[in-house]
Amino acid sequence: MNVLDSELVVASLRKEGYELTDNTGDADTILFNTCSVRQHAEDKIYSALGRLKHAKRENPKKIIGVLGCMAQKDQRLIFERAPYVDLIVGPGQLHQVPQLIADIAEGAGRQLEVSLGRKEGTRATVERSHESFDPLRDATMRPTPYQAYVRIQIGCDKFCTYCIVPSVRGPEQSRPPVEIVAEAKQLADEGCKEIVLLGQTVNSYCYREGDRKTRLSDLLHQLHEIEGIKRIKFVTNYPKDMTVDLLETVRDLPKCSEYLHVPVQSGSNRVLEQMKRGYTVEDYREMMERIRKWLPDGSVTSDFIVGFCGETEEEFQLTCDLVREQRFKNSFIFKYSERPGTKGAENYPDDVPDDVKRRRNNELLAIQNEISEEDNQAFLGRGVEVLVEGLSKAAVKKNETDSEQVQLTGRTMCDRIVVFDGNRRQIGEILPLTVYDANVHTLFGSVVTQHVGPELFSLPVSS
Ligand code: SAH
Ligand code: SF4
């Protein structure tokens, strides 16, 4: 979500004649797009702001801004902690950034634009104060022209007790399907092949117009009709809303990726209840059975929080058991970070010591890594199809920006990263590869060349 927000702000500033620079010394304007999900992300922003104090002293005309969730959460506190900041803009006001910068440059002084808090008005007024910011973009604004994020939902109403998102991103609102389809069509016209639909609980998407309801499954059918779009993914899913109509749609529509990110957070029912996730481990297990039944070749990934309030060693071991049992493609594991203003912070002490959280994080990661490596090894000798995204990390590091033959990276339909030697003109193509090596996070492949003659064979293609 934040990558998309940054992209849209950059796009709107480009229209005003701004250019990006790698060097903060050269910049007229420095903007931080921020995250509030964990304390660590906020600490990094405050120390980065600290490092800019001198830059502002040397050039008082430099405009420094803080955007996004931390701006919404801390508001004026940012001016207090870093008095040289000129601009604070919440995630619901990002469309105003170019105008606010222009006002500051003309001497209007510091600017602050944020949305209403969840209790600062009726639902409708709070919703309206979180304006979605999704202007139509052009291909040069995206990390690669072949892939794009498309927002289909903003905000969240689930209020998990550890999570700051519902207060900083506001009430859950689904975007009208006509707007989404129009955006996807424009992206396709610009050569975009893959769209990733975004929402905090994307599978809860539901747009109501009179008696008519459009659910995610209906939207997928509409998007599937767009000719240039070859792949459709959606993140992040909420376990309780993983309905059969959605799984059937993903199974039946060949452009839909069978990759599902459905965070479970913990393997203990007591912890899940205290997190107010709204399901039990048994419910999640049932959902996984449903996914495996409808999408036997699909892949599922999860998020976990370790060291949530009162988590015992036994409860943590239940989480380890669940990972071993469900064999996720991969897992994103986080140490619990208390967020002021959440029910978790109000009601439960953050009582698991940091070294215990760290140990549990490493232990769970080791279990997941072993599984990911084993599952990746099973791809050896198999054929896969990837959308080529660009140069591999190693090629970028070696600065192989000029040569034609380069190491490239692509992604399978099920979100596996495959690195291979190729030609830069293959970037943006969908290519068949055979896998010859694999480690925890990466498959290594080679381009399948066509054999002419009686030995023509077809490779089994996996996702
Ligand atoms: N909307 C998404 C997740 C948004 S936050 C969903 O519900 O799946 C991404 C992940 O950060 C969460 O899944 C959770 O694992 C983690 N997270 C959220 N709040 C956290 C906190 N206070 N401390 C540690 N991790 C947290
Ligand atoms: Fe946060 Fe829960 Fe909403 Fe995800 S579903 S954004 S974890 S409150």
Q: Where are the domains of the chain?
A: 2-124, 142-257, 293-377, 383-458
Residue 256 pLDDT greater than 80, yes or no: yes
Ligand 2 pocket mutation, candidates 163, 284, 308, criterion most atoms within 8 A of CB = 163
CATH class of 2-124: alpha beta
Average pLDDT over residues 366-380: 97
CA-proximal residue: ligand 2, atom 1 (nearest): 163
* Residue 114 confidence (pLDDT) above 60: yes
In ligand 2, the atom with minimum distance to the C-alpha of 166 is 8
Can you name the residues that pair with 206 across neighbouring β-strands? 215
Please, which pLDDT band fits residue 450 given cuts at 50, 70 and 90? low
Assess whether the C-beta atom of 259 lies below 6 angstroms from ligand 1: no
Q: How far apart are CA 62 and CA 249, in angstroms?
A: 51
Q: How far is CA 181 from the centre of its chain?
A: 20
Percent of the chain topping pLDDT 90:
86
Assigned architecture for domain 293-377 = 2-Layer Sandwich (3.30)
Q: List the residue whose alpha carbon is closest to atom 12 of ligand 1.
A: 303
26-83 pLDDT, tens digit per residue, is 899 999 999 999 999 999 999 999 999 888 888 999 999 999 999 999 999 999 999 9
Q: 156 CA distance to ligand 2 centroid (A)?
A: 6
> Quick one: pLDDT band at residue 167, thresholds 50, 70, 90?
very high
- Return the pLDDT at 452: 55
| CB of 163 closer than 6 angstroms to any ligand 1 atom | yes
For the domain spanning 142-257, the CATH number is 3.30.750.210
Nearest CA to ligand 2 atom 2: 160
Domain range 383-458, its CATH number among 3.40.50.2300, 2.40.50.140, 3.30.420.40, 2.30.30.20:
2.40.50.140
Decide if pLDDT at 93 tops 90: yes
Q: What is the pTM of this model?
A: 0.94
Is residue 336 within 6 Å of ligand 1 at its C-beta?
A: yes
Q: Residue 136 above 90 pLDDT?
A: no
- For residue 138, name the pLDDT band (cuts at 50, 70, 90): low
Q: Are 138 and 190 in contact (CB under 8 A)?
A: yes
For the Cβ of 305 lying below 6 angstroms from any atom of ligand 1, the answer is yes
Can you tell me the distance from the alpha carbon of 37 to that of 335, in angstroms, rounded to the nearest whole number? 11
Tell me how far apart the alpha carbons of residues 374 and 324 are, in angstroms, rounded to a whole number: 12
Q: What's the pLDDT band for 370 if we cut at 50, 70, 90? A: very high
Residue 455 predicted with pLDDT over 70? no
pLDDT of 453 strictly over 60: no
User: Of ligand 1's atoms, which has the minimum distance to the CA of residue 237?
Assistant: 8
Across residues 230-252, what is the average pLDDT? 97
More confident residue, 107 or 450: 107
> Which of 404, 405, 409 is CA-nearest to residue 433?
409
Ligand 2 centroid to residue 161 C-alpha, Å: 9
Q: What is the mean pLDDT of residues 212-239?
A: 98
pLDDT at 275: 98
Q: How confident is the model at residue 401 (pLDDT cuts 50, 70, 90)?
A: low
Instruction: Report which of 454, 395, 460, 452 is spatially closest to residue 421, judged by C-alpha positions.
Output: 395
Query: What's the pLDDT at 183?
Result: 93
Residue 332 binned pLDDT confidence (cut-offs 50, 70, 90): very high
Report the C-alpha gap between 372 and 370 in whole angstroms.
Answer: 6
Instruction: Indicate which residue's Cα is closest to atom 3 of ligand 1.
Output: 200
User: Is-contact 386 411, C-beta < 8 A?
Assistant: yes
Nearest-angstrom CA–CA distance, 193 and 145: 8
Task: Give the mean pLDDT of the chain.
Answer: 93
**Complete edge-to-edge strand list for the sheet that includes strand 259-261:** 259-261, 299-306, 331-335
Binned at pLDDT 50, 70 and 90, residue 459 comes out as low
Ligand 2 atom showing the smallest separation from residue 163 Cα = 1
Find out whether the beta carbon of 284 lies less than 6 Å from any atom of ligand 1.
Answer: no
- Beta-ladder partners of 352: none
Cβ < 6 A, ligand 2 pocket: 156, 158-160, 163, 165-166, 200-201, 238
